[in-house]
Amino acid sequence: MPAGFLEENETPEDGARREAREEALCDIVLEGLLAVYSIPRISQVQLMYRARLDTEEFGVGVESLDVKLFDWDDIPWTEIAFPSARWALEHRREIGKRKLFAPFSNPPGQDGNPTQTV
């Protein structure tokens, strides 16, 4: 899932499209705001958009090691590094084909901190 920081004077929507081009060599069409996540441990607010590929073309950008598309059942859930990426995928699946929905936020009790084991 492409992600990154905004450039100066860049809108969040333009930033999402730029990150997709930089990381996955693809053009996307934004279909709306999916979620706004608060990650206080790293002082971030993350905007997640629902999007689709504009064309079927994609590849490995200079900021990526590998780029793949997955069917829902084949998503490598244990390899997802960031809680917000998992949340976004789960929230995307929850809305299904609905076009209208309120943007999601952090799941109850989740602040983005990694699970600690003792």
pLDDT digits (tens, 9 = 90+) for 14-68: 999 999 999 999 999 999 999 999 999 999 999 999 999 999 999 999 999 999 9
Please give the CATH architecture assigned to the domain spanning 12-95.
Alpha-Beta Complex (3.90)
Q: In angstroms, what is the C-alpha Rg of the chain?
A: 15
Dihedral of alpha carbons 78, 84, 87, 92, sign: negative
Question: Does residue 58 contact residue 47 with C-beta atoms inside 8 Å?
Answer: no
Would you state the structure tokens that stand for residue 37, as one six-digit string? 């996540």
pLDDT at 111: 85
Residue in 58, 64, 4, 1 with CA at minimum distance from that of residue 26? 58
Task: Using the predicted structure, report yes or no on whether residue 117 has a pLDDT greater than 50.
Answer: no
